[in-house]
Amino acid sequence: MITPLILLCIRSIVTLIFICFAIDSVAGVTRNYYIAAEETLWDYAPSYPINPMHQGEFSTKEKVFVAGDGKQRIGHKYYKARFIEYTDDTFTVIKPRAVEWEHLGILGPVIRANVGETIKVVFRNKTQDMTTSMHPHGVFYKKDSEGTHYHDDTAGKDKQDDLVASGATYTYTWEVPERSGPGPNDPSSIIWLYHSHGNETMDTNTGLAGPIIISRKGMLQSNGMLKGVDREFIVLFTIFDENKSYYLDKNIEVFAPYAKDQKDDEAFKESNLMHSINGYVYDNLPGLNMKIGENVRWYQLALGSEADLHTPHWHGNTLLSAGQRIDVLSLLPASHVTVDMKPDNPGIWMYHCHVNDHIEAGMMGRYTVQSDNAKNVSIKNPK
């Protein structure tokens, strides 16, 4: 028999539990981002015609991909679209990219959160006439925040997240439950992708992709750094197929007007396959700088087609991947891998895809490990 006193205790406990859940809900963190898709003129090889790896002119093979002639080859500059971060929902002031993220290159801004938080992205399509969206991997979203255009159970409804028209704005809400964060064998944070998914092949080849970093509860600090991690690097290996870019016709018109009738020419199509690391080829990737003994987290990403089978290789130092010691990783299109390095070997080291064809086509860069007494060095794009 339940006495009045026991009943009162039960009610008090239930009330206390309810209050705790309510407080936790109110205290939940929402991280707001203001991101636009917009046209840009992108340079895959700012150092051209000087190749810092060889200290001289580009080879004949290299010139296939970077040497425009103003007539039949586009070269190393292409009109593309990028995700750009702004300071607020007026989309008037671009948020400066911090120096530690200069290596991101063509990638969109880093979206990040701890497990248990909410991500809210106010997205504006600032391209002139391209339809875009934002589709995330890994996080929890409802149908109105999927950002993907296909026949689903919302057919016939007003689903504005699928295709955001030029000049339009849409707000995506993504939750970050436990299943979106690091698993039992993962480090304290893991990487996911986001990208436009109206016409995924065209949208990603045009350049609309970026990273999401999810960390365990409490690991992402107010200063934007992870506990126990000194540096983070995000790297996307992909062959941007400019033949399938939204801006192909514009790039031909501006940079190779005599090629407008040669879109099916195999040599022309080959010249538009940009084997890039974060949108850079032939050792133009900047900003991969660290010091000996630091805890360095590398996030590895890939996108593309059946040719995008990548094997990132670090010279000079080794890493840990799920407890295994490695210096080479395997990546498939749309894969996400997080690995840790504690560099012990100072120097300027090669960092590249180990697939032979990809090496020849320019999928290579450098990273720098400074000794304790070395002056700060920053490898930037040579001018």
What confidence tens digit (pLDDT) does each residue in 75-129 have? 999 999 999 999 999 999 999 999 999 999 999 999 999 999 999 999 999 999 9
Residue 132, in any domain of the structure: yes
Output the six-digit token pair for 293: 């003994």
Residue 345, in any domain of the structure: yes
Residue 292, in any domain of the structure: yes
Q: With b meaning 16 or more CB within 10 Å and e meaning fewer, what string describes 322-334?
A: eeeeeeebebebb
Count how many domains the chain has: 1
In terms of pTM, does the model score above 0.75?
yes
Residue 209, in any domain of the structure: yes
> Which of 334, 339, 277 has its CA nearest to residue 105?
277
Considering the candidates 176, 353, 361, 363, report the single residue annotated as catalytic. 353
Residue 226, in any domain of the structure: yes
Residue 8, in any domain of the structure: no
What confidence tens digit (pLDDT) does each residue in 226-256 have? 999 999 999 999 999 999 999 999 999 999 9
What confidence tens digit (pLDDT) does each residue in 295-341 have? 999 999 999 999 999 999 999 999 999 899 999 999 999 999 999 99
Residue 54's pLDDT band (cuts 50, 70, 90): low
Any idea what the CATH number is for the domain that residue 298 is in?
2.60.40.420
What confidence tens digit (pLDDT) does each residue in 123-168 have? 999 999 999 999 999 999 999 999 898 887 775 556 777 899 999 9
Instruction: State the pairing for strand pair 30-43/118-125.
Output: parallel
CB 252 within 8 A of CB 259: yes
What confidence tens digit (pLDDT) does each residue in 5-21 have? 554 444 555 444 433 43
Please tell me the distance from the alpha carbon of residue 215 to that of residue 201, in angstroms, as a whole number. 29
CB 215 within 8 A of CB 114: yes
CA quadruple 340, 342, 344, 346: dihedral sign: positive
Find the domain containing 125 and state its range.
Answer: 30-370
Residue 313, in any domain of the structure: yes
CB 172 within 8 A of CB 135: no
Residue 379, in any domain of the structure: no
- Residue 282: phi and psi, rounded to 5, are 50, 55
The amino acid sitting at 285 is: L
> Any catalytic annotation for residue 353?
yes
